[in-house]
């Protein structure tokens, strides 16, 4: 944390005072133990750096899963005024609309206890994972454009799922304003053969069981019950999203001097929201987001097929349905009340998830009485939490919460510390069957590489941003 000193606001928030050319202060959501971890992390410096950007509103924010990222910290949230504010690819991230999707079933743990290995092997065989993998969906030039414009809706029309799935997908699985003309030929080519693939790194598909219910009312609304088998899918926009980010970062770095904006870090290269370059990036980013939604829609459909075939049951017996799909890495134009005035802002969420409360029009109709489901996965040995958005998030964090546990060590450090160990055997000893494409993937994703998920979730719960609904225990995990 170098020389930056944080001031404690309360048990769950720390103030980063406004100094130098910072336009606003920073606020980091953390308890004492997470605060102590930040002393060796440069992500606090990045929170301060983001506060230098023009048009930023109220605060530069960070969720308790905060760790170092490109430009913005992962776990960073920042909102910018449309008049005089900016959009920064580093505030969205390379994996545009990396996100999570929760699939619930009618099955209980006893129904699959003797079939876990068969299910996991079948899923690993059916769903391509790892760096550069290609999927079963090969896109023509015409279809490539439609995916970028229509998102998950294209996948449903192509036979991967039903229209009901779109009702519980953020933005109905398609972000408006997508323009394939603003996406490079290289990006489109990289995405042409990767639909229906999991990817690598921290992406996963996990079979989980609902172990504990904290909020019976919300759990009932979400269709969750104790002992229930669910599947969490974590993936994004693959090579297409990466290339979009890379293309626009290069463009903005090249032309940054033209903006007249003084940046503390070139990784924060940006464009004014009202500029043509800024509009072009948002249009390309929306294409990446739509590709990611189509990708997760296909992954979910393949998962349902594997369950039905492996367990030899009919779709009605499986009873699979989408609880919710949330995106993590995104910039969206949304409305918030600031100092008593309703304003449209461009909210950057990088490694953060939307957490809208009950009554909000963007919450699916079936959940509007309780609020939006917030999906928070942990490391592969821990499982996940389901929370529900709260009104306080609208007042303090631009409707945002954390997106996961957050790393405490780099991938290089994790691989080094995992040498000589069998992470898969260690996971097996913990009751979690793990399959991955390589030992290095398991090494960089070992549980010790992440913060304590219970700590992270408790901070947003106690801060009143999102309330705990259920805890899920991991049974099996497929990693890229």
Give me the active site residues, please.
403
The 3-state DSSP class for residue 27 equals: strand
Structure tokens at 179: 């323009």
Structure tokens at 449: 């590489």
Distance CA(351)–CA(33), nearest Å, equals: 20
Structure tokens at 362: 């963007």
Q: For the chain, state the CA radius of gyration.
A: 21
The 3-state DSSP class for residue 269 equals: coil
DSSP 360-418: -TTS-GGGTTTB-EEEEE--TTT-EEEEEE-HHHHHHSSSEEE-S--BSS-HHHHHHHH
Measured CA distances, 351 to 22, 75, 283, 402, 449 (Å): 22, 4, 20, 7, 16
Taking alpha carbons only, the member of 249, 330, 265, 348 closest to residue 48 is: 265
DSSP 131-171: TT---SBPPPHHHHHHHHHHTHHHHHHTTSS-HHHHHTBGG
**Burial environment of residue 126 by CB neighbours within 10 A (0 to 12, 13 to 18, 19 or more):** middle
Structure tokens at 125: 């065989």
Distance CA(123)–CA(435), nearest Å, equals: 10
373 and 323 Cβ atoms separated by less than 8 Å: yes
Angle 30-35-41 from CA coordinates, rounded to 5°: 115
246 and 183 Cβ atoms separated by less than 8 Å: no
110 and 330 Cβ atoms separated by less than 8 Å: no
Q: What is the CB neighbour count within 10 angstroms for residue 366?
A: 12
379 and 405 Cβ atoms separated by less than 8 Å: yes
Q: Are strands 271-272 and 204-213 parallel, antiparallel or unpaired?
A: unpaired
Distance CA(247)–CA(270), nearest Å, equals: 13
Q: What is the CB neighbour count within 10 angstroms for residue 201?
A: 17
Structure tokens at 192: 């042409």
Q: Which residues contact 165 (CB under 8 A, 6 or more apart)?
A: 152, 156, 173, 297, 300, 322
């Amino acid at each position: 944390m170098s020389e930056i000193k944080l001031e404690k606001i309360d048990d769950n928030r720390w103030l980063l005072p406004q100094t130098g050319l910072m336009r606003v202060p920073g606020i980091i959501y953390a308890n004492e133990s997470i605060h102590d971890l930040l002393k060796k992390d440069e992500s606090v410096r990045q929170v301060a750096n983001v506060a230098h950007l023009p048009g930023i509103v109220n605060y530069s924010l960070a969720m308790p899963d905060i760790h170092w990222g490109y430009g913005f910290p992962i776990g960073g949230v920042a909102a910018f005024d449309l008049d005089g504010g900016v959009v920064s690819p580093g505030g969205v991230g390379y994996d545009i609309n990396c996100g999570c999707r929760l699939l619930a079933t009618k099955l209980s743990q006893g129904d699959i206890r003797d079939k876990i290995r068969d299910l996991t092997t079948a899923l690993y065989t059916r769903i391509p994972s790892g760096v550069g993998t290609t999927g079963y969906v090969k896109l023509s030039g015409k279809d490539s454009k439609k995916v970028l414009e229509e998102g998950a809706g294209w996948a449903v029309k192509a036979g991967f799922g039903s229209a009901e799935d779109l009702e519980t997908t953020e933005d109905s699985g398609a972000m408006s304003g997508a323009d394939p003309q603003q996406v490079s030929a290289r990006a489109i080519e990289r995405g042409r053969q990767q639909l229906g693939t999991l990817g690598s790194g921290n992406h996963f598909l996990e079979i989980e069981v609902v172990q504990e219910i904290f909020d019976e009312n919300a759990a009932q609304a979400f269709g969750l019950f104790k002992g229930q088998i669910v599947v969490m899918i974590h993936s994004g926009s693959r090579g297409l999203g990466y290339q979009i980010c890379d293309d626009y970062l290069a463009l903005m770095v090249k032309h940054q001097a033209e903006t007249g904006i003084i940046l503390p870090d070139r990784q924060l290269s940006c464009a004014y929201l009202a500029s043509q370059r800024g509009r072009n990036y948002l249009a390309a980013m929306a294409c990446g987001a739509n590709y990611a939604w189509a990708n997760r829609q296909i992954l979910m459909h393949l998962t349902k097929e594997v369950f039905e075939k492996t367990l030899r049951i009919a779709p009605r017996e499986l009873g699979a349905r989408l609880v919710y799909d949330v995106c993590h890495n995104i910039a969206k134009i949304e409305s918030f009340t600031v100092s008593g005035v309703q304003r449209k802002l461009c909210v950057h969420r990088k490694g953060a998830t939307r957490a809208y409360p009950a009554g909000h029009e963007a919450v699916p109709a079936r959940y509007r009485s309780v609020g939006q489901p917030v999906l928070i996965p942990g490391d592969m040995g821990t499982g996940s939490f389901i929370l529900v958005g709260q009104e306080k998030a609208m007042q303090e964090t631009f409707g945002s919460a954390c997106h996961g546990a957050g790393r405490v060590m780099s991938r290089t450090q994790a691989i080094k510390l995992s040498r000589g160990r069998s992470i898969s055997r260690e996971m097996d000893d913990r009751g979690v069957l793990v399959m991955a494409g390589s030992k290095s993937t398991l090494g960089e994703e070992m549980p010790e590489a992440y913060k304590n998920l219970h700590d992270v979730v408790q901070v947003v719960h106690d801060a009143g941003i999102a309330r705990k609904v259920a805890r899920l225990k991991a049974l099996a995990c497929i990693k890229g």
